[in-house]
Structure formats: structure tokens, C-alpha cells
Amino acid sequence: MTSTSTRQRNRRGDGARLRADLVAAARSILEESGEDSAVTLRAVARRAGVAAPSIYAHFADRDAVLLEVVRESFQDLDARLESAWESGGGSADRLLAICAAYTDFAVRHPHRYRLMFGRHGTGRQPAPLRTSATQAIGVLVDAVGACAADGSSASSNPEHDAVALWAGLHGFAGLHSAVPGFPWPEGVLEELARRLARLR
């Protein structure tokens, strides 16, 4: 959908579709511009092909639109991590698949990822988003715990080691965005994951 497209008026009951289109418009603006400041209500309305006042039937303000982008991004990330966990193989293989899925998402969508773990609007992260972040980390906790349970990890404190692993993945993803031309050695992500998860 381009910024010059004109949207047909919704039929009664199609409000959910407009809401989804507004979020998609905000997401595309963020990913194209790289700046959440570019996601203005006027820009979102233009991209979605509606008049700016139409947004207020679905979102109170710009911050509410961005928060919905973040919420959907966490859902996307969670689905990828769950898919990686269900990919098969031993617990260590599945943990490594989760780490690869996590960093792949962060590297492919750096602007969304930065917004997901940043602060929003008033300078605080709402409780639902803190819960979403905790759920994402919980997948790592479960995976490290499974490795410890079957002896493929030497971890005696899976929660502690999973948080350390998450911090490592977060740093790896951040460096990818900050230093895009750096020649990362092959296998460095797997080595990072193995060490932090204490895989044998």
C-alpha cells in the first residue's frame, strides 16, 4: 500500500481491518525510516489511505499506535522462538535453534527490535510489554532448563544462565546493527550460546 493510495470506506464491522492496516502502516514506516519519530499520525493515515481523524476511533494517540506495533512484534518473535523449539533434535540443538531465531529476528528487524526493548511515550514500559519481554526470555529459561535436565548443559541455575544468554544475544544483535560491516567469524553466535548456556 503506497502513501498515495486511497482507501475505500469500510463497511460496518470492518473496523478491525482498519486497525490492522494502521498498525501495518506504522510498522512499515518504522522499518523504512529507522526512526520511531517518523511514525506520526499523519504519516500513518497517509500510508493507510485514510483521513487522520479516523485513527482516533482505534488509537488514542501516536504512542498507542507504537505500543501496538511493539505488542505484535513480540507476538512475532514468540512465534519464531516456539517454532525453533519445536524444530526437533536434542535439547542442545533446539536451544541453539532458538538463539539463531532470536538473533535473526533482531538483525532483520533492528528498528522494531530496538523499539521492543526501549521505552515508550511517557518514558516507561507498560506492564503488558514487560510481560511480553519476560515471556520471550522465558523460552530461553525453559530451553536451558531442558539442557540441564538431560545433562547437555552443566548449568546449575538455568534461570541465571538463561538471562546471561539473553544478554549475550541482545548484545550480539545490537552490535550487528551498530557495526554492520564487521566481519563476524563463522560460528561465533553458536560459540557464544554454548558458553553462556554451559553446553557440554
The CATH class of 15-59 is: mainly alpha
Percent of the chain with pLDDT strictly greater than 90: 79
Q: pLDDT tens, 67-80?
A: 999 999 999 999 99
3-state helix, strand, coil in the chain (%, to 5): 70, 0, 30
Q: What's the pLDDT at 124?
A: 57
User: Is 121's pLDDT higher than 50?
Assistant: no
Domain ranges within the chain, ordered by starting residue: 15-59, 63-196
Of 11 and 32, which is predicted with more confidence? 32
Does position 186 have pLDDT exceeding 50, yes or no? yes
The CATH number of 63-196 is 1.10.357.10
**149 or 7: which carries more pLDDT confidence?**
149
- Of the CA atoms within 13 Å of residue 39, those in its CB half-sphere come to 30
Count CA atoms closer than 13 A to 165's CA, side-chain side: 35
Write down the pLDDT at residue 196.
98
Mean pLDDT computed over 142-158: 98
SS3 153: strand
Task: Give me the percent of the chain exceeding a pLDDT of 70.
Answer: 88
Q: Tell me what the pLDDT averaged over the chain comes to.
A: 89
Other Cβ atoms within 10 Å of 177 Cβ, number: 14
